[in-house]
């Protein structure tokens, strides 16, 4: 299983605190990928952890004030990009995916349901993520509580590895997803805002 840790814009995952969290991630087990804010991508040069960006725009060099240039992300050390997270929806999924492919940046396209997984697959991303929006940040339920959704999403993703996210907080959620065919998990607050993120990470990644 691959573990994608989304730092979002949490205080605990921003700036100097982001670097501290990255150093803790380095000590955990398994393959962990940190998804950082654009302003923190440069921290990739201070960590052994693989760093991805949380978003990119389908632009080239030029007059694009305020937009996120994929070349800039790569130059600062990003290895991949999340596309179409429910907190940053975009109508330019295909264009962003193509720009990333041009630069050999890996991609994960996020989908809210199994039907949208089929749409995401046609853009040939490296991963497809399934995250029901209503479960993101949930304290009581996770995507693992919807096994039929995961099963259908895995089927629709075909050979593209499926990553599950939304409300994941313990190993039980991860094992449930793995049993249903998921190849990775996308986790945010359960790790990023934890009092002891390294302990949580080790528990989640043990034997995975």
pLDDT of residue 208: 64
Q: Look up the domain containing 74 and give its range.
A: 2-205
What is the maximum span of the chain, computed from C-alpha positions, in angstroms?
A: 48
pLDDT of residue 141: 80
> pLDDT tens digits, residue range 82-132?
999 999 999 999 999 999 999 999 999 999 999 999 999 999 999 999 998
pLDDT of residue 35: 98
Instruction: Assign residue 21 the CATH number of its domain.
Output: 3.20.20.70
User: Which parts of the chain have pLDDT scores under 50?
Assistant: none
Active site (catalytic) residues? 85, 131
Vertex 31, ends 27 and 33: CA angle to 5°?
90
Total-model pTM: 0.94
- Write out the DSSP string of the chain: -EEEEE-TT-GGGSHHHHHHHHHHHHTSSSEEEEEE-GGGGGGGGG-SSEEEES---S--SSS-TT---HHHHHHTT--EEEE--TTS--S-HHHHHHHHHHTT-EEEEEESSHHHHHHHHTT--SEEEE--GGGTT-SS--GGG-HHHHHHHHHHHTTSPEEEESS--SHHHHHHHHHTT--EEEE-HHHHT-SSHHHHHHHHHTT-
Number of domains, the chain: 1
* Nearest CA among 36, 42, 31 for reference residue 10: 36
């Amino acid at each position: 299983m691959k573990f994608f840790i989304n730092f979002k814009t949490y205080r605990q995952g921003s700036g100097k605190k982001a670097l501290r969290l990255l150093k803790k991630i380095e000590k955990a087990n398994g393959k962990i990928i940190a998804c950082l804010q654009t302003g923190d991508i440069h921290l990739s040069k201070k960590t052994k952890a693989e760093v991805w960006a949380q978003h990119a725009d389908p632009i080239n060099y030029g007059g694009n004030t305020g937009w996120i240039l994929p070349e800039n992300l790569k130059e600062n050390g990003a290895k991949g990009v999340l596309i179409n997270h429910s907190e940053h929806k975009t109508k330019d999924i295909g264009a962003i995916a193509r720009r990333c492919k041009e630069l050999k940046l890996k991609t994960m396209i996020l989908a809210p349901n199994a039907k949208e997984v089929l749409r995401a697959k046609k853009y040939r991303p490296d991963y497809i993520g399934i995250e029901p929006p209503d479960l993101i940040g949930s304290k009581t339920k996770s995507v693992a509580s919807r096994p039929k959704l995961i099963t259908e999403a895995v089927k629709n993703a075909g050979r593209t590895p499926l990553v599950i996210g939304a409300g994941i907080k313990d190993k039980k959620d991860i094992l449930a997803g793995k049993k249903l065919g998921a190849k990775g998990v996308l986790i945010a607050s359960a790790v990023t805002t934890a009092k002891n993120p390294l302990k949580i990470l080790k528990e989640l990644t043990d034997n995975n």
